[in-house]
Amino acid sequence: QVQLVESGGDLVKPGGSLRLSCAASGFSFSDYYMSWVRQVPGKGLEWVAYMSNSNGYTNYADSVTDRFTISRDNAQNSLYLHMNSLRADDTAVYYCARNLRGYIVDLWGQGTLVTVSS
């Protein structure tokens, strides 16, 4: 079954850190660029980070640059998002996303909730 399954969402205090994971299955993970997209509950979607399939290229939203790091392990079919210096406005559901090409998502995970609150 072609799917993406996120994990790692939690309640964390402002200034804290968290690592999200995404397990891919049912397709050749190493062939695809991947991304993280978030959604504040009841609000719109925001693209967070983007990573190429093999050469390590990454790109980030201005709001998370220097705080978040996207990475992947093609041998483990896994995508990660390392989040540091978390703020209240980082509270959102974080979706793992497969890129069809460029910044077009053709497969989404169910999402994992990150809540930043004291």
Q: Are 71 and 82 in contact (CB under 8 A)?
A: yes
- Cβ 78 vs Cβ 21: under 8 Å: yes
Tell which one of 10, 21, 84, 108 touches another protein (CB under 8 A).
108
With CB under 8 A as the contact rule, the residue among 22, 36, 72, 109 that binds another protein is: 109
Instruction: List all residues 6 or more positions away from 73 whose beta carbon is below 8 Å from its beta carbon.
Output: 80
> Is there binding between residue 95 and another protein (CB under 8 A)?
yes
Q: Is 103 in the site for another protein (CB under 8 A)?
A: yes
Read off φ and ψ for residue 74, nearest 5 degrees: -65, -30
Shortest Å, Cβ 47 to another protein: 5
- Say if residues 98 and 34 touch (Cβ distance below 8 Å): yes
Among residues 10, 47, 71, 115, which is the contact residue for another protein, using CB under 8 A?
47
Decide if residue 89 touches another protein (CB under 8 A): no
